[in-house]
Structure 1
């Protein structure tokens, strides 16, 4: 059950002062004593009070600015998302402020508060964890935002949010099935951060494919690498040192796949002759000659464009009880040489 947002009157009642005094304290204005100011600020923090930015925007000028929270600007996937979102925002007369969250809940909350204080008209959030504690507050406050690429697992709240995501379960299922049909039974999965709905669903899809094809995937073949290139390299290297090395690796993003590639080559294995390799994201490096990384391609531009479109709609209807929309975008396989399809095609 969503709680009602705290108001100036709520804080005033608990502090034993007027709403005007609370406003002075919260806005760091003179006219109220130091101890009483501290008491008011403490109560406001405990109640998770946030200024009524919607009411303020009704009497102020539009900022024509939106925010975008991303997880890692150095990741080519997010870099492309920023470029696509900026282009789409510009076409609609908006400027874009980008904040790099680095998979940190506290930093995510900090940037949400900063963006709101800067009077952005809405926020696209592509960094959210599946159990993020910050989203409920935005829902309660009625602030316009869209979840892009990731979702949260709270049905009551999710039904009140605009969301644009990939069909990650099906993508994971198809990726694993592709390797299985190439003749592989021992397939390792290098997962991204399992705090992200994206990687949870890709992993669940891959494991469901294994089940449907009658394969028992050893627990040691499913390794969480947190979307880290270093951890993916170490994981792949460790897999190859054992007596039962996998014959194929599915990495849940291309950065991890490229790191796994380095580990495979460094230990004298051939790709795909000894080990088939499949990534996810279709970043430009993977397509370079000599790398030829097979991967899953998502509609990156569509994610950004649809997210901006939904956000504009949410901004326009923010004082109305509008229907929230969920868009699930399809992916497709990009078959290059690293998976070995060119050697013999499907064998089952």
Structure 2
């Protein structure tokens, strides 16, 4: 294997690469961590927020997600929408299942926006407010409580979707504070033993919120799909007037998404719906990726109409946020 074909996509401006190949079948001389880092390197010719490797597309697809630093994650919600579209189109279907880790994700084609943006919905695993392993050291359940090492004025809720998250509902958005808090969570393994994505949630309506996330292994990104779901679940539980909100519009720096929360036997079943935009396909020589001095790749196909349609939607979203006093 001298080269690989990659598909660059984005969900809410979360740039995700899709590679149709098992992650564990590259030649022995290929350092997979370095390969992932090289592809995702924002200073290189490609650059992105992670990679989904997928196998058995014609059968039961099996996917594995890698963060830009080469670490593995249980899920990338925005990326799963894009992977879902890829698999659905390859199979000629409107609904299918994808296995990733221990979880089965149901993906479906969703209606396009009025501006022609392609969308996909994905059913995610149960929202768990009692994670299998404590997110905050010493406590299996952490709901709406302060964490002095982070901020004495904010309260946080820990939950898994299945990635681990810490969510705070705020009365204004302070990006520097989010970066500070996210950095502490990423570095303090004694207090946060399994790590967590950190999100600030700013309510902008009874069923609409703004979410910004500091992702572990990534940093501040335009959007994080599982964090969008986690934030919606926390808002529904804590901040929504007198009853839980079942359908929430989520705005972030990368765009918009919709989260539906269904209660079954006392548990929350989430569905995430949003764009799944194709950017380009490219053939990339593995040696070029692993050699920092070489930056060549062959772009085989681009998708200018999709890019333009999403740019219009993104501009509308940013104008709306600006009207609300939110600058990203």
Q: Which has the higher helix share?
A: 1
What TM-score does the superposition give when structure 2 sets the normalisation length? 0.27
What TM-score does the superposition give when structure 1 sets the normalisation length? 0.26
Larger radius of gyration: 1
Q: Which has the higher strand share?
A: 2
